Amino acid sequence: MTQRGKVYLVGAGPGDPKLITVKGLECLRRADVVIYDRLANPTLLEHVREDAERIYCGKLPDNHTMRQEAINALLAEKALEGKTVVRLKGGDPCVFGRAGEEAEHLAQRGVPFEIVPGVTAGIAAPAYAGIPVTHREHGSSFAVVTGHLSGGKSGEDAEKWRALARGVDTVAFYMGIANLPLICARLLEHGRRPDTPVAVIARGTLPEQATVTGTLATIEETVQRHPGISNPAIILVGDVVQLREKIKWFEE
């Protein structure tokens, strides 16, 4: 009987290499092939066997990236050779990590796979900045949103902005730094208070973590004054941000 391989879609955690799960680490140690991207902490590769194959598929200096179809095909191909394949992704593989597309591709081809969840940046970076994304008194709902949500020209997006502005206490925007002015403008336009607290947390959970806070009315200008606040960063909007003053710990 030919040996059957398997693909593990593994969350590497948000930055601090100790935030990978025990199961994720076990997968890394067993892997024959590791396919990793830019946001997975490279020090995690120290756990990979010497003789294992390592394939980088994040952004290269020439801005070229391996296309998603090529990655999908590679995952299936290596597993069908009988190998244990780890697809290592920053944060949680299912939160803006395309694990869904990869899993669909594998399922279609009958390639066995498992999803190993990870700690996502939208929760972990705030936690390291002293901000719990929910709190009994300050936030009972939490949304995870891409910063690429459009300017609201399509009716569907306008509907989403309205809901985020009025119906959700805490909102974490991923990939949003370039769109910060648009994000603030849309939330204000749809009725969020201008004095709503906002934090922007860059390189969360890493020693270089940096955080600035302000309000929907002021945060854009504050970020402009702090060039260190750049990608990767989480924009967190909501009253829970105030708690940072009392419980910030990591940057102390």
CB nearer ligand SAH, residue 139 or residue 204: 204
Q: Which stretch binds ligand SAH (CB under 6 A): 27-35, 103-111, 148-156, 225-233?
A: 225-233
Instruction: Tell me how far apart the alpha carbons of residues 88 and 123 are, in angstroms, rounded to a whole number.
Output: 19
Residue 203 as a binder of ligand SAH (CB under 6 A): the answer is yes
Instruction: Tell me how far apart the alpha carbons of residues 180 and 61 are, in angstroms, rounded to a whole number.
Output: 25
Instruction: Tell me how far apart the alpha carbons of residues 190 and 148 are, in angstroms, rounded to a whole number.
Output: 17
Shortest Å, Cβ 82 to ligand SAH: 28
Catalytic-labelled residue, pool 6, 157, 169, 175: 175
- Near ligand SAH by CB under 6 A: residue from 5, 17, 91, 152: 91
Contact 115, 203 (CB under 8 A): no
Contact 187, 175 (CB under 8 A): no
Residue 154 as a binder of ligand SAH (CB under 6 A): the answer is no
| Residue 37 known to be catalytic | yes
Shortest Å, Cβ 2 to ligand SAH: 33
Instruction: Tell me how far apart the alpha carbons of residues 130 and 141 are, in angstroms, rounded to a whole number.
Output: 18
Residue 154 in tokens: 């399509």
Q: Which stretch binds ligand SAH (CB under 6 A): 48-56, 65-73, 87-95, 156-164?
A: 87-95
| Residue 32 known to be catalytic | no
| Burial 75-99, CB ≥16 within 10 A → b, else e | bbebbeeebbbbbbbbbbbbbbbbb
Shortest Å, Cβ 39 to ligand SAH: 5
Binding site for ligand SAH (CB under 6 A): 14-15, 39, 89-92, 95-97, 120-121, 125, 174-175, 201, 203-206, 231-234
Catalytic residues: 37, 59, 175
